[in-house]
Amino acid sequence: MSNQKHWEEVYCTKTPEAVSWYKPHLNTSLDFIDQAATDLDASIIDVGGGESTLVDDLLEKGYQNLSVLDFSTKAIAVAKQRLGTAADTFTWYEADITTASLPSQEFDVWHDRAVFHFLTDPQQRSAYVAQVLRSVKVGGHVILATFGPQGPEKCSGLPVVRYDSQTLQAELGESFVLIHSKTEDHHTPAGTAQQFLYCHFRYS
């Protein structure tokens, strides 16, 4: 099964509240974005945003220049339906982040919660980093949330890569300066705990 078919199956067979990574509000991500994007006109992309409510909360905070990228047609449709007419103000990318066509030097803030750790092939990770280097403005911010060192080895039936702040920075390369990091335990709808690592990098 291809990655796209896998994620379509996940989103077509589970409600938004049933997937393991679900949280009603991504408060840690919001805090990191608030620190990075002090201007409400900042261009922000949520990579793997899917059915996440992050963009709803960013819109409520006053951010206007928002983009969402996801593999899944179903996930994007759910988000658009939830947002109603507000969805028309967003830019939507239905694509694989490693091959997506993104504008050059466009984004002030790149946010990814729980996509990068699914890239187990080094070539996929290199393609992802190349996208960041091309589409994030110099001086912009990259916020990545992955499974931490004590996180699960698999998620949604797929293997993942676990990171600490040093190994995650090594993947991004010398162009990125680590500003802040933290770990937290995410409690899934099934009641299990998963360790997440959040890192805020500046692209210099």
d(CA 160, CA 147): 8
Yes or no: say if 127 and 96 are a contact pair by the CB < 8 Å rule: no
**Domains of the chain listed by start with CATH number:** 3-203 (3.40.50.150)
pTM, entire model: 0.90
Question: Tell me: the pLDDT tens digits for 85-142?
Answer: 999 999 999 999 999 999 999 999 999 999 999 999 999 999 999 999 999 999 999 9
- Name 143's bridge partners: 111, 200
Question: Tell me: the pLDDT tens digits for 44-80?
Answer: 999 999 889 999 999 999 999 999 999 999 999 999 9
d(CA 97, CA 129): 10
Question: Tell me: the pLDDT tens digits for 158-169?
Answer: 999 999 999 999
DSSP state of 87: G
Element (H, E) at 197: strand 193-203
| Cα distance from N-terminal residue to C-terminal residue, the chain | 39
In sequence order, what are the residues at sequence separation of 6 or more whose Cβ sits closer than 8 angstroms to the Cβ of residue 89?
A: 59, 64, 66
Tell me, what's the pLDDT at 100? 97
Tell me, what's the pLDDT at 7? 45
